[in-house]
Amino acid sequence: MILRRITVERYGCFGSGEFEFRRGLNLICGGNETGKSLLLATLPAVVLGVEHGMRLRSWGDSLSCRASLLFEASGRAVRLSRELESNLVRLEEQGADGQWREGFAGRVPPGGKTPDHQQYFDHLERLFGVAGMPLLRALLDSSHGAAVFDGEGRMAEWLAAPLHSASAEQPAQPEKHDTAAARQAEIAALEAELATDREEYRKGQEYLAWVRNRWEKPASASKPAGKSPGGQPAGRTAALAQQHRDLAMELQRQGVPLHVPADLAELLATADELRQELAALQLELAPLQRSHQALAMPASTLPLAATLVALAAPGIAYYLNSPWLVALASGGAVLLLLCWGVFLVRLNRVRGTRAGLDREIGEIEQRRSAALTRQSALAERFVAAGLPSTPVEMVKLQQLCQRNQAQIERYQDLGRQLGLESPNMPTVDQAPADDRHLRPEELPDAEKRLADLSESLRRREARLQALHNGGPALANAGCVLPASGSLTVKNLLPAIGQLLDRLTNGRYREVRLEDERCQLEASPGQWVSPSACSRGTVEALALAFRLALYQMIGARLPLPLDDLPASFEPRRRQATLRLLERLAADHQVLLATCDDELARRAARERWQVVDLKLKKPGQAIVDKETADAGQLHLL
């Protein structure tokens, strides 16, 4: 089943609202405190309940908060609602006639044992194919990933018990055969899925063709008769193509982007001028700020002391009836005038100097602000071209291009001779600043994902044909995953190992349980516990465990993930995204993130995006440029 809608009332920071989802990868994006984790927490809260549900009530509301989930499959829908404070649950199913019928209504507190408890979970097992609260919580609760294994590698007791009990009961379970009604229901579900995914595949093909036509010059436009692309004789084509591939590999090894806009040199020169201007302004500003901070107001201690002496001396003389009263009073007056006069002159001088410094600093700050504005606009143009946008990365790119200028020119010349690149490739100025379409270097990855979708369609079509032929033995072939009854520790560990191998790029390939402790194979014959690994590896193990569970028993549920682990290096993040994209080709994934780059990628690749952002688009770029500007003198 696919989660189509989450509806909340008086729920946390959202108040009341609805959030739409679809099949595939759904990205929930937003900054901190925008409710990403809270939205994901709605799934386990509604399905399993939550302790002290009052804390989820919106501030200032006196009524109870509630939430509901709408799941859809072909020809039917399921609506699950829960009062989060009283734990009153209502489960409704919509039949083919469009009428809603109540399947369950009762009070099901989390972890409690009520008369309705077993009946409710029987309904969930029938609908989602998952038996028991621990497995449901492991699948739906994204906060449980880090609690799967303890420091010594032992599996958490809340999950180990149902897995071991499933292993013990596995031989005694009879084999289940599909009935005619179940087969017809599965046929209807597959036909609906295939209709949707075929349309998505067609749109993907058209989109990739449009992108290729946008960035590449058709080879036929430069093919003279009897010659290979680019006007070269056929005998030289293979040699030129080999040189082109070798240069591409060398440039990629150096970190140089293969597809760059025609005006890159001009953009880099402009960026260098802006950096030099900002560095010069910083050098002007720094001594003025130090002078401003060092400029102290004159101390008033001496004038105040002189005032006290000038008043005390005549007072004492008057009390003693001394003949020196007039002289002391006159001297005190002169002393007051002298001390306060010097103080006021110095105070006025300091104020004038400080005002002059403030004017100079203000002028430099205005020039610096204008330069930062131009730099942020330039950064947006770099982002639109798929190039790094921070000042430091721009410097690295400029140095790389300067060091490899001859190779870049040779690579582009070979591409033009082979007809692989258009000499009139759009510049950054010709592409809109908010252009989120695929770049040329992103086409191979997009084509691979489209091929994965094609393979998924092929498997499901074969399975559908087998179902039409009435073969029950083939009903579980292809992309259908084992039911929860086949979930055991024995068949779960190999799945975890395969996923961990992909997530760690081959660093850890196998997982085993030794004395009830989890161990990872660091090298052939060498096993280590999770406590001896890095934090990133531990988080990869927890993620692999959840994905393995999902592949084994959770195909009818969405997979919520609360952001990619922050400790993942870029290679592991890319491997994780590739794995999630392949999983999303057949199922539904809900991924929450605050990564602006991932949000831009989602817009380019047409993922379903639930935007919870409170700031304007592009604000992060401006903030980053402002933060980097103070360090430009280091360059």
Closest CA to 585 of 462, 448, 468: 448
Whole-angstrom distance, CA of residue 312 vs CA of residue 330? 13
Ramachandran sector of residue 112 (left: φ over 0; alpha: ψ -120 to 50; beta: rest): beta
Contact 162, 134 (CB under 8 A): yes
Whole-angstrom distance, CA of residue 14 vs CA of residue 11? 6
Contact 407, 250 (CB under 8 A): yes
Enumerate residue ranges in the chain where pLDDT < 70: 74-75, 112, 143-179, 181-182, 185, 189, 214-236, 258-262, 384-386, 419-439, 441, 471-490, 554-555, 604, 606, 613-635
Whole-angstrom distance, CA of residue 89 vs CA of residue 47? 9
Contact 64, 80 (CB under 8 A): no
Whole-angstrom distance, CA of residue 209 vs CA of residue 225? 25
- Give strand pairing partners of 20: 5
| pLDDT digits 0-9 by tens, 121-163 | 888 888 887 777 777 877 787 765 545 665 566 666 555 555 5
Question: E-strand spans in 377-531?
Answer: 511-514, 517-523, 526-528
The H or E element that residue 72 is part of is strand 66-73
**pLDDT for position 345:** 92
**pLDDT for position 571:** 80
Burial class from Cβ neighbours inside 10 Å (0-12, 13-18, 19+) for residue 104 reads: middle
Whole-angstrom distance, CA of residue 595 vs CA of residue 264? 26
Rounded to 5 degrees, φ, ψ at 17 are 180, 175
Amino acid letter at 520?
A: L
**pLDDT for position 570:** 81
Other C-beta atoms closer than 10 Å to the C-beta of 249 total 10
Other C-beta atoms closer than 10 Å to the C-beta of 190 total 20
Burial class from Cβ neighbours inside 10 Å (0-12, 13-18, 19+) for residue 471 reads: middle
Residues 6+ apart with CB under 8 A from 574: none
* HEC assignment per residue over 556-602: CCCEEEECCCCCCCHHHHHHHHHHHHHHHCCCEEEEEECCHHHHHHH
**pLDDT for position 480:** 34
Q: Is 50 helix (H, G, I), strand (E, B) or coil?
A: coil
Q: In what order do the strands lie in the sheet with 66-73?
A: 15-20, 2-11, 66-73, 76-83, 88-94, 100-107
CA angle, residues 209, 213, 219, in degrees to nearest 5: 110
Contact 394, 628 (CB under 8 A): no
Could you give the count of Cα atoms lying within 13 Å of 459 in the half-sphere of its Cβ? 14
Kindly state the tokens that stand for 213. 């036509």
- The pTM for the full model equals 0.52
| pLDDT digits 0-9 by tens, 95-106 | 777 788 888 988
Distances (CA, A) of 582 to 71, 452, 497, 536, 551: 22, 7, 17, 22, 12
The structure tokens 């900002």 sit at: 278
Q: End-to-end distance of the chain based on CA atoms, in angstroms?
A: 55
Instruction: State the sign of the Cα–Cα–Cα–Cα dihedral 372, 373, 374, 377.
Output: positive
Q: Strands 66-73, 76-83: parallel, antiparallel or unpaired by DSSP?
A: antiparallel
Whole-angstrom distance, CA of residue 39 vs CA of residue 41? 5
**pLDDT for position 150:** 59
**pLDDT for position 236:** 63
User: Contacts by 372-377 with C-beta closer than 8 Å and gap 24+?
Assistant: 372/278, 372/622, 372/625, 372/626, 372/629, 374/274, 375/271, 375/274, 375/278, 375/625, 375/629, 376/621, 376/622, 376/625, 377/433
Q: Strands 2-11, 15-20: parallel, antiparallel or unpaired by DSSP?
A: antiparallel
